[in-house]
């Protein structure tokens, strides 16, 4: 595809580090009895790891995989925010005063999701779009 990019390699390393961090968090820090939660978290880790390898390899196929992985993570971030906001609305509607604390926590979790789950993939997509435009 053109010349190798240091930024692409850096994004790949960050993706791999985040994949390991997510897997560590799911298995050691916040283990869950829910196989659905564990499966989704492991799928996100695998997706990020695949995108990271694609960014490091920097061939056409690898960059397509990286773009798909980053897009899926951004979409997952939007879904997570939507679910957290819906939870906040439910808690506020059902539990009124006590639910306000739960609502505040759900909103804080939604804001953290943007940083923890969605920021790096969003920046990576911008990088990939710019890189694609430069190679045309």
88 vs 54: CA distance, rounded Å: 37
Q: Which residues contact 84 (CB under 8 A, 6 or more apart)?
A: 106, 107, 109, 110, 113
Of 74 and 91, the structure prediction assigns the larger pLDDT to 74
Q: Quick: pLDDT tens for 97-122.
A: 777 888 888 888 888 888 888 899 99
pLDDT at 2: 56
pLDDT surpassing 70 at residue 135: yes
The greatest distance separating any two alpha carbons of the chain, rounded to the nearest whole angstrom, comes to: 59
pTM of the model: 0.84
Q: Quick: pLDDT tens for 28-66.
A: 888 878 888 888 888 989 999 999 999 999 998 999 999
pLDDT surpassing 90 at residue 87: no
pLDDT at 112: 86
Number of Cβ within 10 Å of residue 114's Cβ equals: 14
- Mean pLDDT computed over 120-127: 93
């Amino acid at each position: 595809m053109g010349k190798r990019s240091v930024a692409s390699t850096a994004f790949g390393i960050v993706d791999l580090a985040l994949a390991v961090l997510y897997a560590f968090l799911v298995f050691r820090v916040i283990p869950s009895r829910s196989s659905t939660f564990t499966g989704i978290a492991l799928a996100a880790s695998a997706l990020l790891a695949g995108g990271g390898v694609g960014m490091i390899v920097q061939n056409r196929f690898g960059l397509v995989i990286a773009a798909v992985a980053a897009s899926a993570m951004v979409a997952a971030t939007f879904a997570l925010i939507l679910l957290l906001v819906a939870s906040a609305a439910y808690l506020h509607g059902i539990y009124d005063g006590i639910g306000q604390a739960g609502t505040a926590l759900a909103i804080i979790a939604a804001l953290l999701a943007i940083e923890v789950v969605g920021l790096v993939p969003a920046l990576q997509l911008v990088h990939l779009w710019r890189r694609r435009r430069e190679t045309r």
